[in-house]
Structure 1
Amino acid sequence: MPQWNKSLHKWLSLLVGIQLLIWLVTGLYFNLMDHRKASGNSNLQSINHQGIIAPERLIPVTQLAVQNAKHIGLLWLFGKPYYQVTIERGAHSYQAHNIKLFDASTGAPFTLNESLARTIALKSYNGPVNIISADLLAPPMDELPKQKNPLWQVKLQDELHTHVYIEPTSGAVVAHINDERRVRDLMFKLHFMDYLGTGGFNHWLTITFALLTLALTITGLAWLSERYRAGQLSFTHQHKTQNVTVHVSNTQHTHVLALDKHSTLFDSLAQQGIMLPSNCGGGGTCGMCRIQTNQPVKVTQADQTRLSQSKLEQGFRLACQHNACDIQHITVRTLKRTNKNAS
């Protein structure tokens, strides 16, 4: 297996592992959270706009200065009737639309102004509260990334830093966004990998992550196959051992150790307390776990990549690339030795 494949597998493991950890944390949050609070509706209350008017006081819809209307409905705002004329509308309320309001008594075009937006915001809040500011925002909006239409944003002065969003074409309260809702939205963003703020999960990052996970699986299977062919992987429960004479050059001690035949020398020596230098944990990418032998031992691709030709001719190999069944006499230089019972 090429060394770049092993490096790729490790980096993919890191990326996929981080996202799996994020899924674990966010999934736990979704199971434990208070759904009503997380929706931002802790202080939301409904507003009764309904009023009474004699039908003859309403002007006919044919007199409205509008063309190509797809739907005309009657709505009430604080007891006053208005015609809501829909010219264009998406399947969802957050999608771009073209809707106009007309005073149902006079037929005059009507615009929901700041004063009315402030009143609606206060009426929608359960409890006394002061207003910090009111602004008519155009999309995109950080707190409502899916929204494609202008909305009134009324900031309230409360402990949860509530923002009330109001639809100018209906006076409807679209959402109360407070700190509890912001935490939930952050968790959704992390859970659905919506790091670009699209407001959904069907985006190129999700597709890319799926492809990276597939690549991780393929490189992992290739590595597993290579280890099996090299005799470094056994599916049996019996661990066969091989006596190996190990000379530790930096301590001038020699030991005869019974090492697992199907494990790499790097892992087998570590199990005996003999720790070889390594930055890659036995992955064959750092070239630090060198051993030396006077036996003819095949040269692996990792050996050839990490060791010079002169070192190979002197019998140097990488411990992570060879098993105990390949070599009976080795010389190593260790970091430390923790097992004092080896003979």
Structure 2
Amino acid sequence: MGASKLHRWLSLIIGVQLLLWFSSGLLMSVLPIERVRGEHLVARDSVTPLAPAQQLASPASVLRASPGPVREMRYTSLLGQPVVELTLVNGTVRLHDARSARPLPRVDGPVAVRVARAAYRGPGSPSATVSQVRTPSTEFRGKLPVWRIEFQDREKTRVFVSIESGRIVAVRTGTWRLYDFFWGLHIMDWKNHEDFNTPWIIAFAAGGLTLAIAGVVLLYMRWPRRRQRKT
């Protein structure tokens, strides 16, 4: 097959995906990443510092109350109350009262709503429905289960709160969903939007490279000076 015919067929087959690559890449470059993450709507990293004068339980007493071997210990606050966040060796997170060292129950729905409200900076308000997410989706791929709190604003903001630590683990907005949709098109993972080593993208990338090489060969073959010398 000649270079011209090969280039023509590759242009037809790969051209649509090239258009999707360029358009999705442009969109993802234009959208500010802070807006995609919803930082203008939810201050997810805001933590109330612990007062230095508080009488807190010693690390040794907290470790004695731990249900298992501890990998990491962190004194922090949850809704203004001092807590100790323990990360166990198996990856489980447990909260303890920072004053008495006693274990705290898992974060329930009302507490998750209070956490989301305290961090929210937008014009909407949490809806009456708070749901617990137990199955993974393209919207949330982290550790399950988590609480999902929906806000009634233009972005349809959803805040995901860990059931173990009470931390905000994800913020999803309309801008994020648009970005994620084009990201899935860009990496050609139309289902999970996370695998950029799919056979499809490898095959089309190789085809795009072949298309470019064929174009260079055609340019060389049709270069005016070369054609004149040949004549």
Q: Scaled by the length of structure 2, what TM-score is found?
A: 0.76
In 2 relative to 1, CA 211–131 (structure 1 residues): closer, same or farther, beyond 3 Å? same
Unaligned runs of 5+ in 1: 90-96, 241-261, 263-343
**Counterpart in the other structure of 2:115:** 120
Identity %: 26
Asked if the contact 2:132–2:146 (Cα under 8 Å) also holds between the matched residues in 1, the reply is yes
- Are the equivalent residues in 1 in contact too, given 2:37–2:176 (CA < 8 A)? yes
> How far is the alpha carbon of 1:100 from its aligned partner?
2.2
Partner of 1:140: 136
Distance across 2 between alignment mates of 1:153 and 1:56: 32
Could you say what secondary structure the match of 1:175 adopts?
Answer: strand
**CA distance change for structure 1 residues 34 and 65 in 2, over 3 Å: closer, same or farther?**
closer
Which residue identity lines up with residue 35 of structure 2 in the other structure? K
Residues paired across the two proteins, number: 222
Distance in 1, matches of 2:80 and 2:143, equals 29
Given the superposition, is the C-alpha separation of residues 48 and 216 from structure 1 closer, same or farther in structure 2, using an over 3 Å criterion?
closer
What is aligned with 1:98? 92
3-state SS of paired residue (2:70): coil
Q: Unaligned stretches of 5+ in structure 2? A: none
> Do structure 1's residue 87 and structure 2's residue 88 form an aligned pair?
yes
Question: Are the counterparts in 1 of residues 188 and 201 from structure 2 also a CA contact under 8 Å?
Answer: yes
Q: Which amino acid aligns with 1:113?
A: D
CA contact (8 A) 1:133 1:154 kept: yes
The one of 134, 148, 156 equivalent to 2:151 is 156
Return the index of the structure with the highest Cα Rg: 1
Matched residue, 1:176:
171
Secondary structure of 1:212 counterpart: helix
Q: In structure 2, do the counterparts of structure 1 residues 65 and 234 end up closer, same or farther at CA, with 3 Å as the change threshold?
A: closer
Alpha-carbon deviations, 1:34-91, whole Å to 9, x = none? Answer: 44333322322354434443035888023214222222222211222323221247xx
Alpha-carbon distance between aligned partners in 2 of 1:197 and 1:167, rounded to the nearest angstrom: 22
- What SS does structure 2 have at the residue aligned with 1:183? helix
- Checking the alignment, whether the CA contact within 8 Å between 1:150 and 1:168 is kept in structure 2 is yes
Name the counterpart of 2:56.
55
Change (3 A) 1:148 1:57: closer
Which residue identity does 2:87 align to in structure 1? T
Give the direction of change, closer, same or farther, for the CA distance of 1:150–1:12 in structure 2 (3 Å limit).
farther
The correspondence of residues 303-322 of structure 1 with structure 2, limited to 5 A, is none
TM-score in terms of structure 1 length: 0.54
Over residues 169-206 of structure 1, what are the superposed CA-to-partner deviations in whole Å (9 max), with x where a residue is unaligned? 32222232111221122222222333232425244433
Instruction: Check conservation: 1:82, 1:102, Cα contact below 8 A.
Output: yes
What is the SS of the residue equivalent to 2:22? helix
Structure 2: how far apart are the matches of 1:235 and 1:57? Answer: 79
Equivalent-residue separation in structure 1 for 2:207 and 2:227 (angstroms):
35
What is the Cα deviation at residue 134 of structure 1?
A: 1.4
Please state whether the residue corresponding to 1:84 is helix, strand or coil: strand
Q: Deviation string for 1:116-154 (max 9, x for gaps)?
A: 001111111114513242122124122134x24432111
